Structure 1
Amino acid sequence: MAVARPGAHSWRHEISRYQWAVLVATTMGWALDGFDSSLFTQVAGPATTDLLGHSSSFYSGLAVTVFLFGWAVGAIAFGALADYVGRVRVLIIGVLTYSVFTALATLSGEFWHFAVLRFIAGIGSGVELPIGAALVAEAWNNRHRAKASGIMMSGLAIGSFLSAIVYNFVGGFGWRITLAFGLIPALLVLFIRQHVHEPESTATVKAARAVRKQERAAGARKIAADRFVLTQLFTPPMLRRTLPCTVICIGALFAFWGVTTWTPQIVREIVGEHGITGNAVVGYVSWATAMLNLGGLIGYASWGFIADKIGRKPTFVMSLVIGIIAVCVLYPFGTSFTAYMWLLPFVGFGVFGVLSGSAVFFPELFGASVRASALAVTNSIGRLFTAAGPLLAGAIATQWFGGSLALATTAVSALIVIAFIGLAFTPETHGEFLFDDNPATSVDGLVAGGIVSEGIRP
């Protein structure tokens, strides 16, 4: 694809109506997913207290952990399905699942009812990131792809920011009324059905698979590309990409779930020490959540722009360093609400930015035939490893830190340093799709033979 010459049409003329529709749909989907998840973390404590009859950091963490396990299961299952049947239908199923079951959780009469419904909602929620990131990468097959991917990821922070506003106004009515707003994402399905269709790469991969099926029927030997997509990801040559990307996700998600799950409760404790309790706490929690996600919004949206200037790996390092410093300064030493207001944007910028990096960087390391599965698997294994993070933080706060959630959150979130290990074993893509050129090992390798063609950023 040619690069626009100086004096030619502006960048807006390089982007089609379909590409804008995909970006709007995926950004809205991720935003509403973030809206649901953040709304839940803000009411997890009150909901658990109501259902159990007493407060419990352990059960609050358990409720989040159950949701994360559901997310991982749904992402892997639906991610693999999307690589075979297409992105759009699977995206619609996911949106309906997490919105409907979030609303149904308001009818819970016991904690286990609540946990089961949150698990199912998590299954639907897991669809958004891998399908959305794959869809944007394939639809925006031009020089603006990284920017579009970063903007899509900013949807999570936008949704979380909006959830803080909603919680500020309706939190005082109780957790059931608040969580009922999780039904809103179902409206997104109407937009997706009307404006978004499958990218060309989906049809191309299906055609390549059809060719291989005919060749196999004619007696051709089985090659790596004939295997189930999940098998391909865990066997050479793709294994050398799958493992480092998974390690990056493990580190990033320890920090992400640590700060997003426990910041509301930590803020409650801080303002509680000054005699602010009950419904009076709602405004403080919503403002803290808003400031965390304001920084996250900037971190998400700017990541692609920065990466196009300095490279993918240096931008990862930038996000990781900022996230580590901000976490280790704020949570152990922040003793006032004012300190949280000033430093939470830096926490969000660094910690959330790393996740934006995975949406920009990972699609460039895997081909269209396995891309949704790759994004699902790497993020889901990261979630499975880190799903116990919220539960762990609640437990070690009691066991090791004298009940200090702030110190426990620091310990868990500091595991973000693990991401440096994975980053060391990934290649710099320089904004291009990197594929295995050997047609004997990968469907994407058929690019060389002219069977599979995917737009590559010049």
Structure 2
Amino acid sequence: MQATAAGAVEPSRSRQIPTSQWHVLIAAWLGNAFDGLDASIFTIVLYPAMSELLKTTSHSLVGVYGSVILAALMLGYFVGGVGFGMLADRIGRTKAMMLTILLYALCTGLCALSHNWIELAFYRFLVGCGIGGEVVVAGVTLAESWPGQSRLKAMGFYCAAFSFGYILAATLNLFFGYLGWRWLFVAGVLPAFLTLYIRFKVKDPAEFEILKQYKARLRAKPKSELTSDQTAIIRPTLPQVFSPKNRYRTFLAVCLGSTAIVGYWAVLSWISPWINQMTGTNAIAERSWAAIVMNIGGILGAMSTWLAVDRLGRAMSFRVAFLGACLCNVSMFLTVQHFGPQLLVWCFLVGMFSHIPFALLLIYLPELFDAEIRGTAVGFSYNAGRLIGAAAALASGQLVALFGGSYAMAGACCALLYLGGVLASLFLKPQPITLGQIASLEQSSEQEPVQLAK
């Protein structure tokens, strides 16, 4: 056994990284990058798209109906995250991952065919189902495939991919935005080809394969011969997320995830139309550069998360990230009056602090739950916040209207919700790390439980 700098203890592993692990990282990274591409297209083109579909230039109306589209995406994230998480526990990680990518890629393309805002909301709901599932399934697969300290670095690299995808969307808008917003959605079909790579190069983690074989042996036995722990393994996974063993972990994870999600979608989504409002133009270049700078900050934040965990621990890292995101967003929305270098500096800082919690979540959540329910538990915990995010998106749209079409005032008010994450992080306490420990199997009795850092 070896102790990590963060205070956790994990089994010693060879430093030699097998090719199979690199394939998992590449597939997960590309999947998350394309998540970023397809998820962010609407936020970049929100004002021109909704203006055309609603046949209005009213910022109040665009804010209200735009928030409905964002809420539909959030609802899809929840449905897909839970549904595909359960599916990954049943049919395997790689098969579920391929299905999620196909779903969000094809439905992003369908967004280009929208005739009205209702059609666009429906397609964005389906996009959300795919992206919500992919983030969870890919994150769990990566966590199960990469051991020890290397997992922290791999997860930071994986989470940075979302920002690369956002930058790709912003770059496409910068060079091809003059063609119209629909063509950006057409570009969102490209991720479908990633499924070919996953099909031939990525295999399910060994831990999942062991569990699958063990479940098959248990199902072959008469139920009267099974112990209570063995019976639990072959039960439906979702109810076990709320068992006495997992209840506290699930509640805390939902609180942390909700804060990160609400902050990102109910706050950052208004930066692009806010720029339209400040400039009084279509602002293709201005919106694109703001998105690029913000996500360069996001890349730096995600890539440095492992270092924060190593030096500060999980709880303090969450605390610093949420507090930083709150202060930077409020300061940006209340002090910036026109597009310029000051806004770009704030966008960089906002991007950095708002992306760190997502990397922390994908480091922390897979550590909490046993392999037999990990996909379901992470899917629910990570995405339950999407329901709150959907409500917050609707509320923020009403705030835009309440403040007379002011995206800045609505964004500043919603940014205060980040303080909820600071509060939740105070209740973070040591938990057994279950990664690499199939806790309910016979051989688990020989393994020592390991503890998370505070």
Aligned to 2:203: 197
Aligned to 1:290: 292
Which deviates the most, 224-233 or 320-329?
224-233
Give 1:167-186 correspondences, 5 Å limit: 167-186=173-192
Compute the displacement of 1:418 (Å): 1.3
Aligned to 1:7: none
SS in 1 for 2:417: helix
SS in 2 for 1:355: helix
The unaligned stretches of length 5 or more in structure 1 are 5-10, 438-442
Aligned to 2:92: 86
**Partner deviation per Cα, 1:113-165 (whole Å, 9 max, x = no partner):** 22211211211111121111101110002331111111101111111011111
Compute the displacement of 1:453 (Å): 11
Does the 8 Å CA contact 1:171/1:178 hold for their aligned counterparts?
yes
Instruction: Output the CA distance in 1 between the equivalents of 2:274 and 2:153.
Output: 34
Does the 8 Å CA contact 2:47/2:276 hold for their aligned counterparts?
no
Aligned to 2:254: 246
Aligned to 2:325: 323
Instruction: Output the CA distance in 2 between the equivalents of 1:328 and 1:216.
Output: 60
Does the 8 Å CA contact 1:35/1:160 hold for their aligned counterparts?
yes
Instruction: Output the CA distance in 1 between the equivalents of 2:435 and 2:112.
Output: 46
Distance 1:83 1:2, change over 3 A: same
Aligned to 2:151: 145
- Which residue identity does 1:81 align to in structure 2? L
**Partner deviation per Cα, 1:162-199 (whole Å, 9 max, x = no partner):** 11111101111111112111111112112111211101
Distance 1:200 1:435, change over 3 A: closer
Which deviates the most, 204-213 or 28-37?
204-213
- Which residue identity does 1:258 align to in structure 2? A
SS in 2 for 1:127: helix
Aligned to 1:258: 266
Aligned to 1:73: 79
Instruction: Output the CA distance in 2 between the equivalents of 1:454 and 1:374.
Output: 19
Compute the displacement of 1:256 (Å): 0.6
**Partner deviation per Cα, 1:65-119 (whole Å, 9 max, x = no partner):** 1111111101111101101211100000010110011101111222222221121
Give 1:45-60 correspondences, 5 Å limit: 45-55=47-57, 56-60=62-66
Residue 332 (str. 1) matches residue 334 (str. 2): yes
Give 1:19-30 correspondences, 5 Å limit: 19-30=21-32
Distance 1:3 1:381, change over 3 A: closer
SS in 1 for 2:98: helix
Instruction: Output the CA distance in 2 between the equivalents of 1:175 and 1:91.
Output: 28
Instruction: Output the CA distance in 1 between the equivalents of 2:102 and 2:358.
Output: 24
Compute the displacement of 1:306 (Å): 2.2
SS in 1 for 2:49: helix
**Partner deviation per Cα, 1:5-38 (whole Å, 9 max, x = no partner):** xxxxxx9952111111111110110010101111
Q: 1:126 aligns with which of 129, 132, 138?
A: 132
- Which residue identity does 1:159 align to in structure 2? G
SS in 2 for 1:411: helix
Does the 8 Å CA contact 1:247/1:421 hold for their aligned counterparts?
no
The alignment's TM-score, normalised by the length of structure 1, stands at 0.89
- Which residue identity does 2:391 align to in structure 1? A
Instruction: Output the CA distance in 2 between the equivalents of 1:413 and 1:447.
Output: 48
Instruction: Output the CA distance in 2 between the equivalents of 1:97 and 1:436.
Output: 30
Percent identity of paired positions between Structure 1 and Structure 2: 28
Does the 8 Å CA contact 1:312/1:428 hold for their aligned counterparts?
no
**Partner deviation per Cα, 1:372-409 (whole Å, 9 max, x = no partner):** 1122101221001111222221211222x232111111
Distance 1:455 1:158, change over 3 A: farther
Aligned to 2:161: 155
Aligned to 2:385: 382
Distance 1:331 1:116, change over 3 A: same
Aligned to 2:8: none
Does the 8 Å CA contact 1:208/1:452 hold for their aligned counterparts?
no
SS in 1 for 2:304: helix
Instruction: Output the CA distance in 2 between the equivalents of 1:121 and 1:26.
Output: 18
Q: 2:278 aligns with which of 270, 274, 277?
A: 270
Aligned to 2:237: 229
Compute the displacement of 1:326 (Å): 0.6
Instruction: Output the CA distance in 2 between the equivalents of 1:316 and 1:125.
Output: 24
Instruction: Output the CA distance in 1 between the equivalents of 2:321 and 2:308.
Output: 11
The unaligned stretches of length 5 or more in structure 2 are 5-12
Instruction: Output the CA distance in 1 between the equivalents of 2:225 and 2:364.
Output: 38
Total equivalences in the alignment: 437
Aligned to 2:418: 416
Compute the displacement of 1:422 (Å): 2.8
Instruction: Output the CA distance in 2 between the equivalents of 1:168 and 1:449.
Output: 54
Distance 1:329 1:216, change over 3 A: farther
Distance 1:127 1:186, change over 3 A: same
- Which residue identity does 1:128 align to in structure 2? E
Does the 8 Å CA contact 2:318/2:421 hold for their aligned counterparts?
no
Aligned to 2:109: 103
Q: 1:403 aligns with which of 397, 402, 405?
A: 405
- Which residue identity does 2:433 align to in structure 1? F
- Which residue identity does 1:233 align to in structure 2? V
Which deviates the most, 353-362 or 253-262?
253-262
Compute the displacement of 1:354 (Å): 0.8
Instruction: Output the CA distance in 2 between the equivalents of 1:59 and 1:210.
Output: 49
The alignment's TM-score, normalised by the length of structure 2, stands at 0.90
SS in 1 for 2:130: helix
- Which residue identity does 2:293 align to in structure 1? M
Compute the displacement of 1:455 (Å): 11
Does the 8 Å CA contact 2:266/2:389 hold for their aligned counterparts?
no
Instruction: Output the CA distance in 2 between the equivalents of 1:298 and 1:161.
Output: 13
Distance 1:452 1:75, change over 3 A: farther
Instruction: Output the CA distance in 2 between the equivalents of 1:426 and 1:366.
Output: 15
Distance 1:305 1:12, change over 3 A: farther
Does the 8 Å CA contact 1:436/1:445 hold for their aligned counterparts?
no
Distance 1:313 1:455, change over 3 A: closer
Does the 8 Å CA contact 2:169/2:184 hold for their aligned counterparts?
no
**Partner deviation per Cα, 1:336-356 (whole Å, 9 max, x = no partner):** 222211111111111111111
SS in 2 for 1:107: coil
Distance 1:187 1:211, change over 3 A: same
